[in-house]
Chain A
Amino acid sequence: MRATAIEQYVRTDRLPHIWCSGCGIGIAMRAMIEALSQCDVRLDDVVIVSGIGCSGRVAGYAKMDSFHTTHGRAIPFATGLKLGNPKLKVIVFSGDGDLFAIGGNHFIHAARRNMDMTVICVNNFIYGMTGGQAGSTTPPHARTTTTPYGNFEPPFNLPHLAMACGAVYVARWTTYHVVQLIQAMKEAIAKRGFSFVEAISPCPTVFGSRNEIPTGLAAMKFFKQNSERIRDGFDVAEAGIELGGKIKVGRFCDRDRPTFQDRLVRMEHEVVSAERTMEG
Chain B
Amino acid sequence: MPTIEDIVILEDKMYILAEQCKGCSFCIEFCPKHVLVVSEEFNAKGYHPPGIDAKANCSNCKLCELLCPEFAIYSTDYSLRKGAAARNGLEEGQQ
Contact = CB atoms under 8 A, between A and B. Distances in A.
B23 interface: yes
Contacts of B42: none
Contact of B71 (A15, A179, A217): A15
A278 B71 CA distance: 61
Contacts of B23: 21
Contact of A30 (B1, B2, B24, B68): B68
B60 interface: no
Chain A binding surface SS class = helix
B47 to A, nearest CB: 7
Nearest to A26: B69
Contacts of A217: 24-26, 29
A187 interface: no
A17 B29 contact: no
Interface residues of A, number: 33
Interface stretch (A1-9, A96-104, A160-168, A244-252): A1-9
A182 B66 contact: yes
Nearest to A14: B1
Interface in B1-32: 1-2, 15, 17, 19-20, 22-26, 29-30
A271 B23 CA distance: 61
Interface residues of B, number: 24
B69 A10 contact: no
B54 interface: no
Contacts of A15: 1-2, 20, 70-71
B68 to A, nearest CB: 7
Q: Which of A3, A19, A182 has the most CB of B within 10 A?
A: A3
B78 interface: no
Contacts of B15: 3
